[in-house]
Amino acid sequence: MRFAGSLLSVFALTLFAGFLATALPDALKHADTFLGRAVEHSGETVLEQRTRFWGETFTQSIGEIRRVIPPDGVYVLVNGDAADKGAPIWLRYELAPRRAILVPHADLRRPRRVRERIPGSARWVVVASEGRVPKLIDRARFLRRLGGSD
C-alpha cells in the first residue's frame, strides 16, 4: 500500500514537472516577446502606438471625431449593426469622456421614439459598425434620414 502511495507520489510529481516543462517555457517566451516588442517600439508617440495597434484608418477617424466633439460634449451613438457585436462599446470608450446617448439598431425603425430621446445638446451623431470606420453625422442630417414618423 505504501509502495503504491509512493508510486502515485512519483506519478503526481512527474505530472507537475511535465506541466512546468511545457508551460514555463511558454511563459518565458511570452515575456521575451513582450520585452522585445517594448524595446522595438520604445520612443513611440501616442499616435504611432495607436496607429500600430488599431490601424491607421480607425485611429484617424477617431481623431477627427474627437476634434469635432468637445470633451464635455454630448453625442448620439447609433448601433449600425443589426446583430449587436459590441461596436458601440468600443467606440464609446474611444470617445469618452464625451457623453453618449445610445440608439440601438432596432430603434431606428421607430423614428419618433428616437427623436424624443435625443436631447437638444446632442449636436452630433456617430454610427458604429463592426469592421467599419465610425461615421460622424450632423444631427439635422441624421434626423432627416431617419424620417418623420414611426
Partner 1 sequence: MNEVLPSLGGVALFAAAGLGAAELFPGLRSLPLVRRLGYAYLLGIALVAGSLWALSHGLGVPLRRPAIWSCAAVPALAGLVARRLRREERKERAARPIRRPLWRRLTGALVSAVLAFVCLGIFAEAVTNPVGNWDSRMIWSAQAIYLRAEGTVDAEVLREWRWYIDHPRYPILLPLAQVAVQEGFGAPQDRQWYRALYAALLPAFLLVLGDGARRWAGRGPAALASLAAVSVPALTVWTAGGAASAYSDLPLACFFGAGLVLLLSARRSLLDGLAAGLFLGAAVLTKNEGIFLACSGLLLGGSSLGWKKHWRRLAAAAVPVVLACALFVSWKSAIPNRHDEKYASFVDPGDFWPEAVTRIPLMAGVIAREMFLQEVWGYFWWMAPAVLLVGWRGWRGRRRAVSVPLLLGFASPLVVVWGAYTVHRNPVFLAPVTWNRFLVQASLPLFLLLSLSLRDLLRRVRSIRDAAAAVWRPQRRVLARRAGGAPHRGAIDLGSGSGAGRSRAARPCAGRAGCGPPVRGASAKRQERQESGQLSSFVHTSSSVAGNVETAAKNVPATSSRASERPRRRSHRSSGSSPTAPARTCRSFRSRERGASGPRPGG
> Which residues here bind partner 1, judged by CB under 8 A?
5-6, 8-13, 15-16, 18-20, 22-24, 26-28, 30-35, 37-38, 41-46, 49-50, 53-54, 71-72, 77, 86, 88-90, 92-93, 96-97, 99-102, 117, 119
Distance from C-alpha of 79 to C-alpha of 35, rounded to nearest angstrom: 38
Per the structure block, which three cell numbers stand in for 57?
Answer: 484608418
State the Cα torsion 112-116-117-122 to the nearest 10°: 110
Minimum Å gap between C-beta 52 and partner 1 is 8
Minimum Å gap between C-beta 136 and partner 1 is 17
Ramachandran angles phi, psi of 57, nearest 5°: -60, -50
By beta-carbon proximity to partner 1, the closer residue of 44 and 56 is 44
Distance from C-alpha of 92 to C-alpha of 73, rounded to nearest angstrom: 13
Minimum Å gap between C-beta 19 and partner 1 is 4
